[in-house]
Amino acid sequence: MLQSLLNNLTLLTTGILFGHIVKSALTERLQKALGTRLALGIVSGLLGVLLMHYHFQISRHIVVDFRQLPILISVYLGGGISGAITTLLIMIYRLFLHEFGTHAVIAALNSPVTFLIGVLFLRKEKTTMPRLFLVLGLSSVSMVVIAWILYDGFPYLEMGLYLPLFFIAGVIAFSILHYLRNKDDSIRKMREAANRDFLTSLYNSRAFAKKMEQKIAAAQRDNIPFTLLIIDIDYFKRVNDQYGHLAGDAVLLQIADVMRETFSQRDHIARKGGEEFVILVDRCDADQIKVIAERLRRNVENHLFVLPDGEKLKLTISGGSATYPNVDEVELFLKADQALYRAKEAGRNRVYVT
């Protein structure tokens, strides 16, 4: 029994780690979460099948496993869709690929009950240890009821042995999940910080270069135009010289906010350095950028910039743009920068379009 129990626990922990690897890989590659949830449901279902196949015997006539845990894990990580797939696979194996009969049907009912418990009580953001014990406790009640139906004499000794093992396995499983989730969050935050400007939280130059490559590849593949817009704050050096660098930082933060409000979420905004910003405007041709750039210029012109000491001032911007495929990808930055230079030479507070 001990060897079989250890095999079940080893399968469970290995399955969790493998499922985490699959989920992480698919999340990076798939645009839609549905594909990840489907894969997670299948992997968890196969884990449940393996746990059933490598069960452990706690008495002469009773064998048990931890099949309920993959269902709960699947619901916890992927929601109802993943959990439903996992439940279905486990039930199919129990009903049709195992010994079929009345006992099999009754035992198989434990899977959808566990699924419902998971859907009702498991939340990725709210699953505290007390809530986890509640879920494991309700799952245990379900198993006790099924054992009471299946056996003429209720197996008190066997259930008294199995239920603590089930609780221990559940705590181990969800502790591993909690650790993996915290690790993923830390890595995600570090990656995000590496791609963001420290002051404005806009993309930095390195991240923008990657976005540019991706945008060009997508435009070539789908034949969809996009525009590169370069923006420069007019006479920004005067702000730093007259009011200090803290005032300059306040202006940069507020300019970044105005840009976020002006552009859509599918556009990419970056701080190129100092008072210069670059924007990749998605699905935007040379005519459309005139309207969008003018809206940004007007929004900045109408904005009242508040400095740390409470003083307020008005500022303007100049800009230049270049649109792909009108302008070759190699010359996009050059043409947009030349347009920006012409806007400054013409008196600033304007945007020139290439």
Whether the model clears a pTM of 0.85, i.e. scores above it, the answer is no
pLDDT at 97 over 70: no
Cross-strand bridge partners of residue 229 = 279, 321
- Looking at the chain, the domain(s) classified CATH 1.10.1760.20 span 2-194
Residue 53: how many other CB atoms lie within 10 Å: 12
| Closest C-alpha among 295, 291, 297, 290 to residue 321 | 290
Residue 219: how many other CB atoms lie within 10 Å: 17
Which tokens belong to 63? 């064998």
For residue 118, CA distances in Å to 69, 83, 122, 286 come to 10, 8, 5, 52
- For 2-194, give the CATH class: mainly alpha
Q: What is the pLDDT of residue 141?
A: 86
Distance between CA 73 and CA 41 in Å, rounded?
A: 10
What average pLDDT score do residues 294-301 get? 97
Between these two residues, 162 and 117, which has the higher pLDDT value? 117
Q: What is the pLDDT of residue 28?
A: 61
pLDDT at 169 over 80: yes
- Looking at the chain, the domain(s) classified CATH 3.30.70.270 span 205-353
Q: Taking all residues of the chain, what is their mean pLDDT, rounded to a whole number?
A: 88
Q: What is the pLDDT of residue 7?
A: 76
Confidence of residue 108 (pLDDT cuts 50, 70, 90): confident
- For 205-353, give the CATH class: alpha beta
Q: Count each helix (H run) and each strand (E run) in the chain, helices first.
A: 12, 9
Strands (E), 43-189: 56-57, 63-64
Most confident range, picked from 48-57, 144-153, 166-175, 257-266: 257-266
pLDDT at 183 over 80: yes
Strand 305-306 and strand 276-282: the pairing is: unpaired
Cross-strand bridge partners of residue 228 = 280, 322
**Residue whose structure tokens are 């899977």:** 111
